[in-house]
Amino acid sequence: MTGADAAGRDPEETGQGSASSGPVTSEPPVEPIAAPDPLLPNRVARQSSWVRTVGWLACFGVVVSLPLWVGGAVAELLVDIGVLVALASAWGWLAGFAGRPLLATATFAGTGTVAWAALVDGLAVNPVVALAGAAAAAALVGLVVGAVAARLDAAWGAAATLALAVATSDLARLLGDGVEPVDGAVALNATLRRGLATWLAVVVGAGTVAAVVAVRRSRVGLGLVAARDDADAAASLGVRPLLPTTVFVAAAAAAAGLAGAVSHLQRGAVEPTQAFDTLTWTWPAVVAALVGGLRTTAGPVVGAVVVVLAERLLDGRPALFLLLSGLAVLVVLVAAPLGIAGTLDARLGDARRERLTRRWSPRRRSEMRRE
Amino acid sequence: MRWADAAIAGLLNGAPLALLAVAVGIAARWAGSVLLPVGVVGITAALLADALRPVTELGAVANGVGAALAAFLVGVLVQLGLVSRRAVLGDVARPPIAWLAVTVAAIGLVSLLAGDGPVPDRVEVGRTFVPFGGPTIVGSHLVATIVALVVLLVLGLAAHSQRTLPMRVASDDPAALARIGRDPRLLLAAVMGVSAACAALGGVLTAEVVPVERSAGLGLAVVALEAAAIGSVGSFPGALLGGLVLGLTRALGAELGDGWGEVAGHAVTIAIVAATHRRALRRVGSPTRGSVVLTGFRR
């Protein structure tokens, strides 16, 4: 600290040199650069956070009340979208943030569906109450799958879970062959059942998105992201991803099980072969998450809307849907890896950042003060 | 005699299944990637075997060679164009999703062109043999097995050759390869091409021996993974053993009824993997590319 002030600035730079250092020049002293307002980032963040929270709450309110003021066809569409939002959000979080692209969504959804049907038909449990059983059964399977998958790397985890999904699908085809579709909720009035399914689908979809946002911002979620990026560095900071990964896979499985049960509540019947089909459950979730945008909150929602509308447009031509969706995912992976929401967010985010920077820049603030 | 015929067919199917397992092993051990055979098998086993229906036993070989060449190109192009590019999914999660997308697109294409349902049985077009009055052997099955064994032998010899050394270490130390003037990306693409060609040939020959659904891309990929898991990922004798065990199990299981063959294969695989890899699964991480399964198999 020879001659430097506490801020580490050289005395000659600040014009405060001693008399012995040389003659004092006649140039006016340079105005020191104003230190950035320490409250500025917090203020911007607080304002942004407040606006965002109100926006999300408003969206949630509108979405939850939708079944009250929409017609039958729109209600069916909402069920499909809500179910797919839940599946895509859960899968997208595991793949995009935790780095675990597990492909057992169909197994979880099928387990939840079969458990729900067994509770409703076998034990005469109320269809809505039975949803808790569906989630619990799927979570139990997810716990086992997560405990194994957390020990494998990403690619082997995907391979193992795909094998599990195909195996459970084969088993369901074997056991469900010749079995009449189970009328899970026939006891309910058809109109009531449809309305209930719509509301539940919306709640499950919105709830999954909210849970993913909460987990993503939590300490454990951030730890998993860190472990995904650099396992050694994260481990040196005390991050142990094994247990959280297992628990989150179980939570994702519970969401998938709920989604499967709600989807079948709307149909009023369960067919085991269809309930475990990978191309019915896992693939649309993957497409929605990727096309909508991984690592974004709105991505799965946007993707689910796109996928459901595409399915409706190509109704009766599932092969064409598979071909086009496969190509779409390939195009997204190559040309727009951020997906629709991610790309929009990047562009709008850049513009917003630029606007805020201009608005809160020191020069602008000094101009405002002078005005 | 029905069970004996099934056992013979299952054993003859072992070699083509071993080719599928070798495809998994090459992709996993040499390129550090899995799920490669998914799309290619879906295309070749279903579309080509149906479109180029053989009229003789050697027709299957011609189909297989054509499919292998096409698959080699697909493997190289997909690896270069998709997998090796950086994306939001990151390096570890990207390959399986890219290959899954290729598979699903292939399933859609096959279903569009040929419709759903099983590939027609071609047993009637091949000659049959009844050696020593025992179980019946179909000529095309025998040819498929012999071709698969020959290819396995050639690949096994090539895997121990110095010429293939750069391909084998391409994913282990790409920087070292670059320092000696070899492009790791091209070598990895070549590895995936060879793996895809194996998968294609195995898929077509498998479709010769057992009935295969046209939309069986995912199912056949899982069969390949199971055969590799039973034997050993990356080991040629292990792949043959896994293929034989799985082929026999599925053939005998299929005699119990429709759908039992697949379930029997899954059950045997789970039992064998659980019995032999419990210790491996207790560990976390791995010294090589983080694959616990591979570490377990190398014991």
Q: Do B102 and A177 touch (CB under 8 A)?
A: no
Best residue in B24, B97, B171 for a mutation probing chain A (most A CBs within 10 Å): B97
Write the pLDDT tens digit of every residue in B162-221. Answer: 877 777 777 677 777 778 877 878 888 888 888 888 887 887 777 777 766 666 667 777
Q: Do A228 and B90 touch (CB under 8 A)?
A: yes
ipTM: 0.74
Q: Tell me the Cα Rg of chain A.
A: 27
How does A285-310 read in b/e, with b if 16+ C-beta sit within 10 Å? bbbbbbbbbbbbbbbbbbbbbbbbeb
CA-nearest of B218, B270, B190 to A281 is B218
What is the number of alpha carbons within 13 Å of residue A8 lying toward its C-beta? 0
Low pLDDT (below 70) residues in chain A: 1-48, 63-64, 67, 177-190, 360, 365, 371
Q: What length does chain A have?
A: 371
Among all chains, which residue has been given the structure tokens 């025992």?
B134
How many angstroms from the chain centroid is the CA of residue A59? 16
Distance between CA atoms of residues A307 and A266, nearest Å: 19
Distance between CA atoms of residues B41 and B22, nearest Å: 13
pTM: 0.76
Of A156, A163, A286, the CB nearest to B97: A286
Give the nearest chain B residue to A286 (CA atoms).
B97
Residues 83-122 of B with CB under 8 A from A: 85, 87-90, 92-98, 100-109, 111-112, 116
Q: Please provide the average confidence, as pLDDT, over all residues in chain B.
A: 71
Write the pLDDT tens digit of every residue in B42-79. Answer: 555 555 555 555 555 566 677 677 777 877 887 787 77
CA-nearest of A291, A292, A304, A236 to A63 is A304
Distance between CA atoms of residues A279 and B42, nearest Å: 14
* Percentage of chain A lying above the pLDDT 70 cut: 81
Best residue in A240, A287, A333, A343 for a mutation probing chain B (most B CBs within 10 Å): A333
